[in-house]
């Protein structure tokens, strides 16, 4: 099977025009009029592809396709269509519209899937209206912060709506998301310098380590413990960054070296969300020291010493292997090296 790239690109361009302002970008903040217009457009695309659509109580858009085995656990495919103010047209949207295009191709090939499929456009991923990853947190039953609930009420969403949006995890077997990554920008768009937390794997790029920072475990003062080893740490409810992030990869690597693994209480792409959960006593967060140092000084968080390891992340400057710097780029390279190292 091969999807129709032209059709996918046309749909991305059409969705990208909803909320677009010339010379500024696309603004489709969750629950706004432009967002709702975009959601209606995506809903129609789902229905045109034969999906049965509905919007759950918090605003997640779901398109359902039956499977040959009605009792088999579902496969979820999708992402989000809300944007940051003045954002691009691909982030999140590619995952949703790409999933719809895959369904179209399955129809064209008369492909019969065994597992039922849900194409989901999660609402409020970016955190500009209620809080980051609000829709997916409701979907998976992750804790919603009190301030998020108060903001949600402004859009007519109650605590009972949030509970009603929660799914039973045993009804699902997989989640797939096509997501645009930034690693190729330096290579494909003639950018000269990039700064990353994780190693970028490309034969055309040069990776220069420039220092790093420490991951530390933090919790609310009421949950304070003196110190733990990694084997003890994973017994507590952990609040972690998402799989694939540099922070999560570092922790997972250290655990794997000890033949350990972790199942977090909550995970998020937002450092701020994890800090808030830790402050409210929902568990122990493992985050970069620079993110939590102010909260520690203010007394709203306490550091929990990890006795048997030091979790050090490395930052890297990414440049082209075969591209010579002019004097301005050389100066920028050295300035960035000094600034990042001093911040660490």
CA distance 70 to 33: 36
Question: Can you tell me the distance from the alpha carbon of 61 to that of 162, in angstroms, rounded to the nearest whole number?
Answer: 14
CA distance 109 to 112: 9
pLDDT band at residue 344 under the 50/70/90 scheme: very low
Q: Is residue 63 part of a domain?
A: yes
* Whether 17 and 82 share a structural domain: yes
**185 domain residue, yes or no:** no
In this structure, are 146 and 198 located in the same domain? Answer: no
Is 183 contained in some domain?
A: no
Final residue in a domain of this structure, among 150, 176, 202: 176
Q: Print the domain residue range for 112.
A: 5-176
The pLDDT-based confidence of 342 (bands split at 50, 70, 90) is very low
Task: Say how many CA atoms lie within 13 Å of 243 toward its Cβ.
Answer: 7
**What strand order describes the sheet that includes 117-122?**
52-55, 61-65, 117-122, 74-80, 172-176
Against a cut of 0.85, is the pTM above it?
no
What pLDDT is attached to residue 167?
94
Structural domain tally of the chain?
2
158 and 212 belong to one structural domain: no
Please tell me whether residues 140 and 242 are part of one structural domain: no
Answer yes or no: do 222 and 82 share one domain.
Answer: no
CB 219 within 8 A of CB 274: no
pLDDT > 70? residue 46: yes
One domain, residues 238 and 299: yes
pLDDT at 141 over 60: yes
pLDDT band at 69, cuts 50/70/90? very high
Q: 250 and 144, same structural domain?
A: no
Residue 11 counted as domain residue: yes
- pLDDT over 90, % of the chain: 47
Tell me, yes or no, whether 283 and 165 share the same domain: no
Per-residue pLDDT at 272: 83
In-domain check, residue 64:
yes
17 in a structural domain: yes
Among 128, 146, 176, the domain-final residue is: 176
Q: Which pairs count as long-range contacts for 83-86, CB under 8 Å and 24+ apart, including other chains?
A: 83/19, 83/26, 83/27, 83/28, 83/29, 83/126, 84/27, 84/29, 84/126, 84/128, 85/25, 85/27, 85/29, 85/128, 86/21, 86/24, 86/25, 86/26, 86/27
Last residue of a domain, one of 108, 141, 176: 176
CATH at residue 130: 3.40.630.10
Same domain? 148 vs 230: no
In-domain check, residue 292: yes
Handedness of CA 38, 122, 143, 244 (dihedral sign): negative
Residue 182: inside a domain, yes or no?
no
* Domain co-membership, 204 together with 263: yes
In this prediction, residue 197 carries a pLDDT of 63
What's the rounded mean pLDDT across residues 46-59? 96
CATH value at residue 333: 3.40.190.290
Do 111 and 215 fall into the same domain? no
- pLDDT over 70 for what percent of the chain? 84
Co-location of 284 and 160 in the same domain: no
């Amino acid at each position: 099977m091969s999807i129709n790239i032209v059709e996918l690109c046309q749909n991305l361009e059409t969705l990208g025009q909803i909320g677009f302002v010339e010379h500024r970008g696309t603004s489709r903040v969750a629950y706004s009029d432009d967002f709702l217009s975009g959601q209606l457009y995506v809903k129609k695309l789902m229905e045109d592809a034969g999906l049965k659509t509905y919007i759950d109580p918090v605003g997640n858009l779901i398109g359902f396709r039956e499977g040959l085995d009605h009792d088999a656990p579902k496969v979820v495919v999708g992402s989000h269509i809300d944007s940051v103010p003045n954002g691009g047209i691909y982030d999140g949207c590619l995952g949703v519209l790409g999933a719809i295009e895959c369904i179209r191709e399955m129809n064209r090939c008369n492909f019969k899937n065994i597992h039922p499929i849900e194409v989901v456009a999660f609402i409020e991923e970016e955190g500009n209206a209620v809080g980051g990853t609000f829709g997916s947190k409701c979907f998976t039953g992750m804790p919603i912060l009190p301030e998020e609930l108060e903001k949600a009420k402004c859009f007519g969403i109650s605590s009972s709506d949030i509970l009603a949006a929660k799914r039973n995890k045993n009804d699902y077997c997989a989640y797939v998301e096509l997501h645009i990554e930034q690693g190729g920008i330096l290579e494909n768009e003639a950018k000269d310098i990039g700064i990353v937390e994780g190693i970028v794997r490309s034969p055309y790029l040069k990776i220069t380590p420039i220092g790093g920072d420490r991951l530390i475990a933090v919790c609310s003062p009421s949950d304070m413990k003196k110190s733990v080893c990694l084997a003890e740490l994973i017994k507590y409810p952990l609040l972690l960054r998402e799989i694939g992030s540099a922070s999560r990869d570092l922790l997972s690597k250290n655990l794997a070296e000890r033949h350990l693994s972790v199942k977090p209480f909550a995970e998020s792409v937002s450092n701020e969300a994890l800090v808030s959960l830790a402050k409210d006593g929902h568990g122990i967060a493992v985050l970069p020291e620079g993110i939590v140092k102010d909260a520690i000084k203010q007394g709203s968080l306490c550091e929990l010493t990890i006795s048997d390891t030091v979790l050090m992340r490395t930052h890297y400057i990414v440049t082209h292997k075969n591209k010579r710097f002019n004097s301005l780029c050389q100066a920028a390279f050295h300035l960035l090296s000094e600034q990042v190292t001093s911040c660490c």
